[in-house]
Amino acid sequence: MNSVPVLQVSELKVHFKIANGLFSPPTIIRAVDGISFDVSEGQTLGLVGESGCGKSTTARAILKLVQPTAGSVHIEGVQIDTLKESEMRPLRQRVQMIFQDPYASLNPRMTVGNIISEPLSVHDICHGDDQRLEVMRLMDMVGLNPRYMNRYPHEFSGGQRQRIGIARALAVQPKLIVCDEAVSALDVSIQAQVINLLMDLQQQLGLSYVFIAHDLAVVRHIAHRVGVMYLGRIVELADSDDLYQSPTHPYTQALLSAVPVPDPTVSQQRIKLVGEVPSPDSVYPGCPFVDRCPVAEDQCNHTVPTLTPGAHQVSCLVQSIDLPADSVEVSG
Amino acid sequence: MSENEQTTIEHSPGFWSQAWSRYKRRKLAMVALLFIVFLSGVAVFSPMIAGTKPIICKYKGSIYFPCMGYYYSGWENPIFQKDKFRRVYPRNLKQKDPDSWAIWPLVYQDPYRPVRANEWGLGEDGNPYDAQGSPSSLNLFGTYKTGFDIFASMVHGTRIALLVGFVSTGLSALIGICIGAIAGYIGGWVDITLSRFIEVVMCVPSLVLILALLAVVESPNIFHVMAVLGLTGWTGMARLTRAEFLKLRESEFVAAARCLGARPTRIMFRHILPNSLAPVLVPIAFGIAAAILVEAALSLLGFGISPPNPSWGTVLNSGREKLQSGYWWQLLFPGIAIFLTVLAYNLIGEGLQESTDPRLADPRD
């Protein structure tokens, strides 16, 4: 296995400035506030969290669609956040993205063939008849009939469109694909098909994925490692099985307890979180989860927790987590 | 891939062919489009419809096309000038070459001069004028000034009317789309600067600018008017294009194109422009209508194209001068023509709007 990880993100911060008019200082939205992770070849990292926790911004920063405020992103050892767009262009062959909305991410005025062949033209990979054959091969690979290459995206179902998006991402033979909620907009049955396709492709092509989702069951199925994000930070990062079997952070525990179990006889312990996600525009002197945390202690109010080193990283100050009885609701 | 498989690739209608099929279902818009096509035909073939020069004639053993002289005076063979035809063909052809023959335009009337008596050598009357010049079988729409035929003037004026619309609006579409695209795509200071520039241009009243220009230019012609209309009329299209580019710049398919490493020009022209063109098409149709009205207004005020050249506005202008004498035909026919043409362009614009807007799309599609 390659010693250099395909993707290395360290202390990545993405802050957005929101102008408040001429005379008041701009509000700073800390969409991503210092996250670090590695993805090695052939691995899938799942990123989960509530909406607004900075998952998609992380994805966009990895692809340099937004400029990071601080920290660095390395792709196959090359630092990309300092590159100019023209220097970045050849590197874009290594990392591709699959978008959340299969309706919005395909140009409605281009045929499927043109959409899939565009990366081939942009990167001068092949032209003319070779390009046609390559498009057919790619369509075949993602389970689309090559006969439909002259059709328009609106004639396809959501799942088929997502396959078009996958074929477009695969055209440049990337090492890493960032899937930003790639299956969230699809039906459950279609989700399974697309996820299995992604896993098959990983086997065949040795791809790495950063798989962003809010559906924990889906992430468990596809990811080797899972990071749980809360308010722009990773609160827990561990191997998939480890995380799902022994979640350590109270937020992870709460999230996992919310996953429905399709068996009415199993009684579920549901941890109810109170309150809302705090606004990402303020700075917290302590743990950002403290207001909603069922086990918060006094130190949580003024000490910022950091991720512990090791295979199972967790960012919590409370050592022995024992949930108090009143926060647990038993149902079933 | 085998030959066999290549032939089975399915094609499906693109956006524009679907828009066209939706457009075709709109009866009124179709009628308007056919009317404009008809007018274009009239404009192109005007010397064959009304004129005093033969479409084709045989004279002294050679074939000539004297009617080409209406397009450009140099295209009329100089032999007719040498033989002292003095622009009167029928009598002279017969007198100077008894073996000659000619095919005549549908209506023997000229926009540049009144038909005089005895042009055919049969002792027939010339064009009447003033109160006698009301519509008759000789002068279908009557006469104006000193016996100029209104029908012939209007047929030949169609070219100017359509040209003003097309050229000035084409020019403003080109400028407007380019400036709007740059402002919307680049954003930031470029956008702020260009937007303020657009607002400055919007503040300039084009009619006043045209009048000022016509006073300055030595020999003003219709192309000066078109240029001024084109250079001042692009602001609406620029704003629409800018808005579309601002919106689409943030869309996911543009983000996808950026991920692929597409260059900004490719993103602008291949991804955003085709998606932002439909809303701009509508003001183009309305712009043509407005330009025709401005040209007519200028001619009506006497600042339009110089008098020997026919235009709808010129006829209208003479009708305005003779309003008290009650020469209704001088106002009615050019008025109807301008009204119908402007109406047709507005109907086309409306049809385009409804056939390109997916929200108004027919559920059958």
Domain range list for chain B:
51-131, 151-360
CA-based Rg of chain B, rounded to a whole angstrom?
Answer: 26
Residue A114's closest chain B neighbor by CA?
B270
Residues of A in contact with B281 (CB under 8 A): none
- Range A52-65 average pLDDT: 90
Distances (CA, A) of B127 to A68, B136, B323: 82, 10, 21
Under the banding of pLDDT at 50, 70 and 90, the label for residue B1 is very low
DSSP alpha helix (H) spans, A8-127? 55-62, 85-88, 112-122
Q: Is the pLDDT of residue A329 over 90?
A: no
What residues contact residue B33 under an 8 Å CB cut-off, 6+ apart? B23, B344, B348, B351
> What is the model's pLDDT at position A1?
47
CB distance B259–A111 less than 8 Å? no
User: Can you tell me the distance from the alpha carbon of A237 to that of A258, in angstroms, rounded to the nearest whole number?
Assistant: 19
Residues of A in contact with B259 (CB under 8 A): 63, 65, 92, 96-97
- pLDDT cut 90: percent of chain A above it: 36
The minimal CB distance from A152 to the residues B12, B251, B270 is found for: B12
Cα end-to-end distance, chain B, whole Å: 33
Residues of B in contact with A151 (CB under 8 A): 10-12
Q: What DSSP character marks residue B108?
A: -
Return the minimum-mean-pLDDT range out of A83-87, B217-221, B271-275, B277-281: B217-221
Of A322 and B280, the one with more pLDDT: B280
The minimal CB distance from B259 to the residues A65, A136, A148 is found for: A65
Q: Is the pLDDT of residue B72 over 60?
A: yes
Return the minimum-mean-pLDDT range out of B127-131, B191-195, B343-347: B127-131
- Range A223-229 average pLDDT: 93
Query: What 3-state DSSP class applies to A323?
Result: coil
| CB contact at 8 A, B30 and B23 | yes
Return the minimum-mean-pLDDT range out of A113-127, B138-152, B179-193, B309-323: B309-323
User: Can you tell me the distance from the alpha carbon of B205 to that of B203, in angstroms, rounded to the nearest whole number?
Assistant: 6
> What is the model's pLDDT at position B365?
43
The ipTM assigned to this model is 0.85
- Range B301-321 average pLDDT: 77
CB distance A105–B255 less than 8 Å? yes
The verdict on residue A138 lying in a domain is: no
> What is the model's pLDDT at position A62?
92
Under the banding of pLDDT at 50, 70 and 90, the label for residue A17 is confident
Max CA distance (Å), chain B = 83
Q: Is the pLDDT of residue B99 over 90?
A: no
B250 contact A CB<8A: no
- Range B297-313 average pLDDT: 76
The verdict on residue A139 lying in a domain is: no
Instruction: Give pairs for A323-327: CB < 8 Å, separation 24+.
Output: A323/A250, A323/A253, A323/A271, A323/A294, A323/A295, A324/A294, A324/A295, A327/A271, A327/A272, A327/A294
Residues of B in contact with A90 (CB under 8 A): 261
Residue A84's closest chain B neighbor by CA?
B261
- pLDDT cut 90: percent of chain B above it: 27
Q: How far is B199 from chain A (nearest CA, A)?
A: 22
Q: Is the pLDDT of residue B353 over 60?
A: yes
| CB contact at 8 A, A56 and A212 | yes
- Range B74-89 average pLDDT: 84
Amino acid at B348: I
CA atoms within 13 A of residue B55's CA, in its CB half-sphere = 12
Under the banding of pLDDT at 50, 70 and 90, the label for residue B18 is confident
| CB contact at 8 A, B262 and B128 | no
| Highest mean pLDDT: which range of B21-30, B32-41, B222-231, B348-357 | B32-41
Q: Is the pLDDT of residue B363 over 70?
A: no
B63-97 burial, b if ≥16 CB within 10 A, otherwise e?
ebbbbbbbeeeeebbeebeeeebebbbbebbeeee
Pair of tokens at residue A252: 């992870």
Range of the domain at A238: 7-94+174-247
- The CA angle B171-B176-B182, to the nearest 5 degrees, is 135
Q: Is the pLDDT of residue A154 over 90?
A: no
CB distance B252–A96 less than 8 Å? no
Q: How far is B357 from chain A (nearest CA, A)?
A: 13
Q: Is the pLDDT of residue A324 over 70?
A: no
Neighbours of A298 (CB within 10 A): 10
Distances (CA, A) of B234 to A135, B108, B182, B288, B349: 41, 41, 14, 12, 16
- Range A136-141 average pLDDT: 92
> What is the model's pLDDT at position A305?
85
> What is the model's pLDDT at position B358?
61
Q: Is the pLDDT of residue B74 over 90?
A: no
- Range B3-16 average pLDDT: 65
Please state the separation of Cα A87 from the chain's center in Å: 25
Q: Is the pLDDT of residue A323 over 60?
A: no
> What is the model's pLDDT at position B360?
57
Fold of the domain spanning B151-360: MetI-like fold (1.10.3720)
Under the banding of pLDDT at 50, 70 and 90, the label for residue A138 is very high
Residue (of B82, B79, B154) closest to B310 by Cα position? B154
Q: Is the pLDDT of residue B114 over 80?
A: yes
> What is the model's pLDDT at position A320?
54
Query: What 3-state DSSP class applies to A268?
Result: strand
CATH number at residue A202: 3.40.50.300
Return the minimum-mean-pLDDT range out of A54-58, A181-185, B261-265: A181-185
CB distance B260–A122 less than 8 Å? yes
B132-149 burial, b if ≥16 CB within 10 A, otherwise e?
ebbbeebbbbbbbbebbb
CB distance A122–B266 less than 8 Å? yes
Residue pLDDT, tens place only, A81-132:
888 888 888 889 999 999 988 888 999 888 999 999 999 999 988 888 999 9
The verdict on residue A220 lying in a domain is: yes
The minimal CB distance from B251 to the residues A104, A147, A165 is found for: A104
Q: Is the pLDDT of residue B200 over 90?
A: yes
> A64, A96, A107: which to substitute to probe chain B, counting the most B Cβ within 10 Å?
A107
- What is the number of domains present in chain A? 1
- Range B103-126 average pLDDT: 86
